[in-house]
Amino acid sequence: MPDALSHLIENNRRWVQSITDRDPEFFRKLERQQRPGYMWIGCCDSRVPANEIIGLLPGEVFVHRNVGNVVLTNDLNCMSAVQYAVEVLGIRHIIVCGHYNCGAVNASMEEMAHGLIDYWIWPVKLIQRRHPWLAKLPPARQRDVLCELNVIEQSSNLAECKVLKRAWSEGQEVDIHGWIYDVKDGRLRDALVTLDRDGDARAAIADAEVAIRTRAQTP
């Protein structure tokens, strides 16, 4: 094994020891079945590790990550994960979490070509075009607000997918929560939006966008 990787194996052994010191049966129980109460849809940025920032152990959160925490109903990877979470694991809460200083969001605001990633972040670029008032904000503020609007958009896309619509029509309780994480201080900002089976998702999305715009334009 390359020396550059050997410390990772050692880290793993220390991590296992720290877990089993607290609960000798932890991995035996985990092997039998996973019963997470949460699904996390987040960005694959290395600074935003799902389990660590919400303080959960393996088996407690079902995680799907991609560049820019994008939710597309034609993305088989994401939709398969959502279906498994909702229909097999019976997940009660799905957290769509973006983060400030997101490379995908920043790239979507640039005019230069980035290659293959441009196809993936095109939906994020469209969000910016739908909100021309962003252009009146200082550049750094534009980026932060677009990160927030991206969370709202992806939460809306999730609410419109067949899996969630079917679950809600059958009375299953599963809520969508739009959160954002600040890499500067390690803190989550929650309650950008919450969508559930009993609420008007479109109205909630519209209200959330108005709230973001109001905050952004308030001196």
Q: Which residues are catalytic?
A: 43, 45, 47, 99, 102
- The residues that bridge with 42 in the sheet, in sequence order, are 65, 97
116 touches 102 (CB < 8 A): no
176 touches 164 (CB < 8 A): yes
> Which pair of structure tokens corresponds to residue 168?
């809600």
> Which pair of structure tokens corresponds to residue 96?
């769509």
Residue 88 is classified by DSSP as I
> Which pair of structure tokens corresponds to residue 73?
């109903």
Residue 186 is classified by DSSP as T
One-letter amino acid identity for 98?
Answer: G
First to last CA, the chain: 56
Q: What kind and span of H or E run contains 195? A: strand 187-195
- Rounded (5°) CA angle 178-200-146: 35
116 touches 176 (CB < 8 A): no
- The residues that bridge with 97 in the sheet, in sequence order, are 42, 179
